[in-house]
Structure 1
Amino acid sequence: MDISFSSMFFHDASMEDIFQAPGLCGSDTLEFWLETPDFWLNGLNIESLKKWIAMYPTKIPLSVHAPVLDLNPCSINPDVREVSIQWIIRSIYLAEQIGASICTIHPGRRTAKRPPSITDYQRLGHMLDCLEEIVDDLSVKVAIENMEPAVNALLTAPDEIMKLLDERSWLCFTFDFAHAMDSGPDIVRSFVEIGEPELVNIHLSGGKNGKLHGPVSGDTKVSTFLSKIKENGYNGQVTLEINDLVLPRELSYSEKITFMAQEIAWLKKSMR
């Protein structure tokens, strides 16, 4: 398995600090969030991004996470829907331009805090129809992610993901362990049994006291999960998606490097 981590852990760092981090932490690659402020707020300069990738190459191609923070392809607002889809398309093209292996996307959510309706799933289908028009000539894998079981969330159950993957042969899957963990071990097991080649990335994090995306080291649920994916022969990417804001205190850049290196070392040891 190839070990990665999300650049969101270094959210406010400079591009240089973000791209030198994999080498300092001992990871194989990096998942780059496009909403990284030093990139997102400075013109989304692809040539500059390519420069940093070339200056600090990773052992395997990096992956990309499409923007999600202000966007919703299932929004009740048609303008929000369309701009969200255009940003996902732009992200996939960007991932292709920089030689990324995977571009992870979110399915969107019902705008109202109510269970998704057939209309919301039709909007999701429209988004995927739009993506299907562009993916044939691209090498980057487009992977949709399962969501946490919030009242208005789409794609929280394994059968929903499997249905999409059966219907759309071009679509891949990024499994978010934290999003599924509270639904119980049977749900987690069912997600993992989707297996390769559709399952191309696993977002891994721990959870304590109701907080998602915490450290993995020492988390017994994570250890059990790692044993399961080893048993299943999973050989794809494992991406540590840790939110620095759930840690007990704010860390400096050097402290974040040390912390992430320790998490990666624990992960490597656990996967042997």
Structure 2
Amino acid sequence: MGTTNMSKSLVYLKRYWILYAMLLLPMAFFIIFRYIPMGYIQIAFKNYSIVQSPWQMEWAANHGFEYFIKAFSNRDFLYALRNTLLLNFLDLLIGFPAPVILAILLNELAFKRFKKFTQTVVYMPHFLSWVIIAGMALQLFAPTNGLINIMLNKMGFASIPFLNEPAYWVVTYVLLGIWQSCGWNTIIYLAAIAGINPELYEASAVDGASRLRKIWHITLPGIRPTIIVLLILSLGHILGSDFERPYALRNTLVTEVSDVISIFVYNNGIRGLQFSLTTAVGLFQSVVGVIFLFTANALAKKSGERGIW
């Protein structure tokens, strides 16, 4: 019996060895660039020294939690934490439903050529860097020479400080984020809609269902598992923060709402050389993200959904 299984395994490996050989490169990538660097997490609990390895560094005070205490005693970090949560929550609240709505609208278009053209146009901003988008935003929303404010002034209205006042900046930040990512995320929902059995729509049409009824009772339930999975993944990044987007759009007038955790890490870690402090901040972000991820997945399973594992 053992010899038979061994011969079957050898035959299997001879047939599919190329696939396993192709796995070596991605496995090496993850081991070298993902798992080996995990040893440097301990910098968060030690006094950093450039001439020593993380294993040789001395433990920090307060049982290794000195830099976590310093972070939560730092006013700039607390502001960055507040801004990160606020901006990510608004992105989730306003930005998450946007691609779902857009995908449903595109699916309802009768003209296929117009549908393809619109889909192409709306996902193109995804390929623009935030430096380019920030330059475009400055040309459009600048208080004195921005195109929109020039048009408002010519119509007799006062200029709107899109980029100069915190409240307006937050609105501009969120809307630009939706404009940049909405079309790309729509592709996922369109693929999910394409997997819905068309016979369901035909049967509902025979029963006299309107378009809204079809959307509510067929389309939305059909893509609900996809929505739940993407929502769980989004909640896992609730404390994460991109660097390019807030850094490119910020200015000195709105630092009270634009400085997020990634900018705090840049200022204190790369520029300030406080590597232990910023490693502690990064570890805190990761732990909170994992907690949100597991909690959201557990809630999804309790409500009858599959979750992400």
Q: Which has the larger radius of gyration?
A: 2
Do the two structures share a fold, i.e. TM-score over 0.5?
no
Structure (1/2) with the larger helix percentage: 2
Q: Give the TM-score normalised by the residue count of structure 2.
A: 0.21
Q: Give the TM-score normalised by the residue count of structure 1.
A: 0.23
Which structure has more relative contact order (CA 8 Å, sep 6+)? It is: 2
Structure (1/2) with the larger strand percentage: 1
